[in-house]
Structure 1
Amino acid sequence: MALASRYPDVEIPDLSVPEFVLAGGASRPDAPALVDGLTGDSITHGQLAGYIDRVAAALAARGLRKGDVVAVLCPNTMWYPVVFHGIAKAGCVMSPINSLYTAHEVAFQLKDSGAKVLVTVSPFLDRALEAVEQSPVDEVIVMDGAEGHASLLDLITSDAPSVQVDIDPANDLVTLPYSSGTTGLPKGVMLTHRNLVANVAQCRPLIQLGEDERIIAVLPFFHIYGLTVLMNQGLAWGGAVVTLPRFDLEQFLRTIQDQKITRAFVAPPILLAMAKHPMVDQFDLSSLTSILSGAAPLDEALAQAAEARLRKGADTGVTVGQGYGMTELSPVSHTTPDRGGEPAGFTGEIPKGSVGLAIPNTECRLIDPATGEDAAPGERGELWVRGPQVMKGYLNNPTATAETLDDEGWLHTGDVAVVDENGIYTVVDRVKELIKYKGYQVAPAELEAVLVGNPSIADAAVIGVKDEESGEELPKAFVVKAPGAEITEDEVMEFVSSRVAPHKKVRSVEFIDQVPKSAAGKILRKDLKARA
């Protein structure tokens, strides 16, 4: 049974991504659009539009045409949106590459995407050139300059004529991000102009950004969460996006304080630091009104702890919520609304730990993995999503597309969720990550939430490890001790067993220095399984 959003549908403008996003700041050309969080340098909305025009013209002058792929290997800078929208305005497709990728992984994406140009930065140039040796491109552009390569300055000072490309928003691709690769080889996710425009428009009734918003952008723009929710959403409504190249807790906190950040879109590891790290108390974070977590499950207790600590009194009003999405959904399908952004007739509060409500124009189904039928009311099921934000498919991979996107337009997320009578969704785990023990299903995320509730534990991850003797999958915990804490394996297991049903008990513990995670904050369970 299809479950409709509690919000009425919104109009999806029939525009390209640059047309839609740049319209937000057109009436405020002198207001800051992008700010470098480290230096304080800025680009106004008026300058942004001009720079984008020049990048598009320069790319066209280089022979790039509609549909050509330009790969971008770059950390967050205030110039990243200039490059992205310049590529899009030229009718080309931007394929963002994970900044942590090895040369081999970069080469795979260049080849698979068919990229003609690679845009990077000088600190990544050696890796980029090694990748290009394996998968050649026509040109490597180095944004901050390098001998023998064009720079971003060369592009934005080009005197080439402006380009006007006929873009069909519903069918023409604008970006080609690659799925995280936590299972199987990374796949190119084909997202159209309409996908991205729709997703920003769909979020508007719930995330009510204003022109005076200052959004901290530390989550990477190469991830669809950063690209849509931080970068394009912030710019589309005329706000200022403050960039940081990577997450450093002191820089992050100082930037919130000095730049008077109003909103932070983060992943759970950042919230964990904000809830537990003593450094947080050294900074004035009173400008913050909202923190929204995504990209990985956020535990209810952690959300409450972070919110309680950051409020420091009832008058600051900061709220901590959670959203849900995936690359294939551009990425948002559910989120916690701002105060006052609840749907008509909604009463009560959105529980911490839930992912909130389905956004407008979005339908959902919950499917029992065992039967393939709709789950009974209140029961868990695999979440299926249908709406204008659903990808076109995987690049050159009809088999993977068919496995994920069915003939009726339903995207099978692989995530297990439950929905209550108010239309509030809670994601409880991934279908493929559930641990099967004595016929029971054990959710790693649930055990991880228990573990990080121990003050002696800074972080944790749980996987299933096969016991050769019994053939069962046994839950194994990888634990990072809190600074100065002393806790034994037995104490960890006793802590968990006193809080969960017997079949959920952790059966072994390994202490590690750091839980391996993707740049978006997802636990890389394949890395843990490799060492288990």
Structure 2
Amino acid sequence: MAIRSPQADVEIPDVSLYDFLFASLQGADLEHPALIDGPSGAVTTYGSLRAQVDAIAGAFAARGLGVGDVVALHSPNVPAFVSVFHGLLRAGVTVTTINALASGPEVGKQISASGAKSLVTVSPLLAQAVEGAEAAGLDPDDVVVLDGAEGHPGLRDLLAAGAPAPEVSFDPATHLAVLPYSSGTTGLPKGVMLTHRNLVANVLQAEPYIPLTRDDVIPAVLPFFHIYGVTALMNGALYQRSTLVTVPRFDLPEYLGLIEKHRATVLFVAPPIALALAKHPLALQADLSSVRLLNSGAAPFDAQLAALVAQRLPGAHVGQGYGMSELSPISHVIPTGRTDISPGSIGLLVANMQAKIVDPATGEEIEQPAEGMSAPGELLCAGPNVMVGYLGNEQETRDTITGDGFLHTGDIVTVDADGVFYVVDRLKELIKYKGYQVPPAELEALLVAHPEIADAAVVGVPDGEGEELPKAFVVLAEGADLSAQDVMEYVAAKVAPYKKIRLVEFTHAIPKSAAGKILRKDLKTA
């Protein structure tokens, strides 16, 4: 029998994300700050934001883009990201968000895989953007540079014509809003198809557990290009008329300064930031007394680290959530104020969700116990936030979503009698490095493409601070003379910084099963 959320179901309106967030704006909310640019302090009110969204929708519609088209958005956290993201959705366009740290080849692969007809970027990322756009066959006119660059249209150029927002019609339950790329439970990145209804639902599902208010000020340091940033930070805050302070990159002194200057109340972080807040000397000197809530996500957040953070934030609720891109992304959260739930758990199922725990060896369902803790098994989740599938990959979709709508997460969990879930292991092979997903298969493909490498495998190894480091096991070709530094530099030149190989061990053979699958557990214990 499926385990149900203890939270009452919420009603999910049948509307677009634009209508959900902006249609009801009126009165005092129009002058309320929606966005504050962290570096400059420039303020965008809710009324101005909606006007920008409408104008951007008109500008892209005038370029012939609309329902059925995909546009890539490649930018750090700046106010324009929010207005462009929602402007594109307002025009009926599907947005594929690209990691701001992506290399040129990675940008090109995502543009090609998603079928994006245009790329929106910023001048500091232009070199990678142009390299990727050219590789994917886009013209310079298809690369829009928000802050302007010679040879490319800028946002000001697009808005100069003053085209009105278009009238669009689509079914929110089936029309794709965003297309983030995720490696799922294993393998190479795949386009995760998330509808307007998926995103609307997930904001409403999480809201009872993470109640934001109009008075909340939230430094947006987790990237908007990640679905966690889209839902928990951007859309969740806009829905409640909170104020977002955009942070283009994480720099601890600047981050602490923004918390103090704006009297920030809610912090959405990944564990490395939580660790800095708990231990770094600068954080120990900072005034964090305004913070009422810290929620960690994107990677495991253990009880010991949570306790350290709680000591620094004595008046705040410290907890974590759980999810994945395929779940829009939130499925579990420790509700604000629930001090009876261990901060080392992932909390309770959010509203409108069901879960199953299945023995990965037998496929048998593991029941929630009447008391104590269940046996461990793979977590499967069902709800209105589950993706509709992987773009152009029906087999992977069938392998990931069961016939009755439950999505395989690839994580091994237990659950107690009160419905509190704990992640105890990871069935999937993804490496989590500073909150980012590092797919071993992608790095292995790069390594074996080197003429002096005969075989390779990549695993995550603990670094002693709760993080995983990508480590390569390398079999050299006969006569080859590569050093560990050579291998690391070779990979670093081809991938985003967070995907770099951090450790190398040379070996005579890669252990594999009879079917040819790499036995990663053997490597991790070697």
TM-score by length of 2: 0.82
Is this contact kept in 2: 1:25–1:237, CA < 8 A? Answer: no
2:319 is matched with 321
> How far apart are 1:123 and its partner, in Å?
1.1
> How far apart are 1:157 and its partner, in Å?
4.0
- Name the CA distance, whole Å, in 2 between partners of 1:201 and 1:157: 36
Is this contact kept in 2: 1:24–1:237, CA < 8 A? Answer: no
> How far apart are 1:65 and its partner, in Å?
2.2
Is this contact kept in 2: 1:24–1:238, CA < 8 A? Answer: no
Residue identity matched to 1:132: A
What are the within-5 Å matches in structure 2 for residues 201-220 of structure 1? 201-220=204-223
2:382 is matched with 386
Is 2:420 the counterpart of 1:424? yes
> How far apart are 1:195 and its partner, in Å?
0.2
- Name the CA distance, whole Å, in 2 between partners of 1:54 and 1:133: 28
2:407 is matched with 411
Is 2:9 the counterpart of 1:9? yes
Is this contact kept in 1: 2:366–2:375, CA < 8 A? Answer: yes
Q: Which of residues 355, 370, 374 is equivalent to 2:346?
A: 355
Q: 1:270 to 1:165 in 2, by over 3 A?
A: same
> How far apart are 1:137 and its partner, in Å?
2.5
Q: Which of residues 118, 121, 143 is equivalent to 2:146?
A: 143
SS in 2 for 1:334: strand
1:292 is matched with 295
> How far apart are 1:462 and its partner, in Å?
6.9
What are the within-5 Å matches in structure 2 for residues 368-517 of structure 1? 368-376=359-367, 377=369, 378-433=374-429, 448=462, 451-452=464-465, 460-461=467-468
1:159 is matched with 162
> How far apart are 1:6 and its partner, in Å?
0.2
1:456 is matched with none
Q: 1:418 to 1:395 in 2, by over 3 A?
A: same
Is 2:117 the counterpart of 1:116? yes
Between 136-145 and 69-78, report the one with greater CA deviation.
136-145
Is 2:84 the counterpart of 1:83? yes
Is this contact kept in 2: 1:295–1:520, CA < 8 A? Answer: no
- Name the CA distance, whole Å, in 2 between partners of 1:375 and 1:197: 31
Q: 1:276 to 1:13 in 2, by over 3 A?
A: same
Is 2:334 the counterpart of 1:310? no
- Name the CA distance, whole Å, in 1 between partners of 2:252 and 2:112: 36
2:479 is matched with none
Q: Which of residues 326, 329, 332 is equivalent to 2:330?
A: 332
Is this contact kept in 1: 2:474–2:504, CA < 8 A? Answer: no
Residue identity matched to 1:319: H
CA offset digits 1:440-492 (Å, max 9, x no partner): xxxx99x959x33xxxxxx6537899999xxxxxxxxxxxxxxxxxxxxxxxx
Residue identity matched to 1:91: G
CA offset digits 1:293-318 (Å, max 9, x no partner): 0011001100101111232xxxxx11
What are the within-5 Å matches in structure 2 for residues 226-265 of structure 1? 226-265=229-268
How many residue pairs match? The answer is 454
SS in 1 for 2:54: helix
Is this contact kept in 2: 1:34–1:240, CA < 8 A? Answer: yes
> How far apart are 1:161 and its partner, in Å?
2.6
SS in 1 for 2:51: helix
Residue identity matched to 1:333: S
- Name the CA distance, whole Å, in 1 between partners of 2:68 and 2:229: 23
Between 262-271 and 130-139, report the one with greater CA deviation.
130-139
SS in 2 for 1:79: helix
CA offset digits 1:47-69 (Å, max 9, x no partner): 01100000000111111121200
Residue identity matched to 1:54: A
Is this contact kept in 2: 1:364–1:385, CA < 8 A? Answer: yes
SS in 2 for 1:254: helix
Q: 1:462 to 1:32 in 2, by over 3 A?
A: closer
SS in 1 for 2:30: coil
- Name the CA distance, whole Å, in 2 between partners of 1:72 and 1:431: 31
SS in 2 for 1:107: helix
Between 276-285 and 42-51, report the one with greater CA deviation.
276-285
SS in 2 for 1:413: strand
Q: 1:463 to 1:258 in 2, by over 3 A?
A: closer
- Name the CA distance, whole Å, in 2 between partners of 1:531 and 1:165: 55
Is this contact kept in 2: 1:122–1:143, CA < 8 A? Answer: yes
Is this contact kept in 1: 2:309–2:318, CA < 8 A? Answer: yes
Is this contact kept in 1: 2:85–2:95, CA < 8 A? Answer: yes
Residue identity matched to 2:34: A
Residue identity matched to 1:407: G
Q: 1:14 to 1:393 in 2, by over 3 A?
A: same
2:521 is matched with none
Q: 1:130 to 1:26 in 2, by over 3 A?
A: same
Residue identity matched to 1:227: V
Q: 1:409 to 1:235 in 2, by over 3 A?
A: same
- Name the CA distance, whole Å, in 1 between partners of 2:467 and 2:323: 23
Is this contact kept in 1: 2:334–2:343, CA < 8 A? Answer: no
| Unpaired segments ≥5 residues, structure 1 | 312-316, 343-347, 436-443, 453-458, 469-511
- Name the CA distance, whole Å, in 1 between partners of 2:496 and 2:404: 30
| Unpaired segments ≥5 residues, structure 2 | 432-458, 476-487, 507-526
Is this contact kept in 2: 1:217–1:241, CA < 8 A? Answer: yes
Residue identity matched to 1:96: T
- Name the CA distance, whole Å, in 1 between partners of 2:414 and 2:469: 21
Is this contact kept in 2: 1:51–1:156, CA < 8 A? Answer: no
2:434 is matched with none
SS in 2 for 1:369: coil
SS in 1 for 2:77: coil
Is this contact kept in 2: 1:323–1:355, CA < 8 A? Answer: yes
Residue identity matched to 2:38: G
Residue identity matched to 2:354: E
Q: 1:158 to 1:419 in 2, by over 3 A?
A: farther
> How far apart are 1:375 and its partner, in Å?
2.1
- Name the CA distance, whole Å, in 2 between partners of 1:310 and 1:166: 47
Coordinate RMSD, CA, aligned: 2.7
SS in 1 for 2:190: coil
Q: 1:25 to 1:146 in 2, by over 3 A?
A: same
2:524 is matched with none
Residue identity matched to 2:130: L
Residue identity matched to 1:2: A
Is this contact kept in 1: 2:183–2:430, CA < 8 A? Answer: no
Q: 1:373 to 1:239 in 2, by over 3 A?
A: same
Between 174-183 and 45-54, report the one with greater CA deviation.
174-183
Name the % identity.
49
2:127 is matched with 126
SS in 2 for 1:188: strand
Residue identity matched to 2:416: D
> How far apart are 1:126 and its partner, in Å?
1.5
Is this contact kept in 2: 1:25–1:235, CA < 8 A? Answer: no
> How far apart are 1:156 and its partner, in Å?
3.7
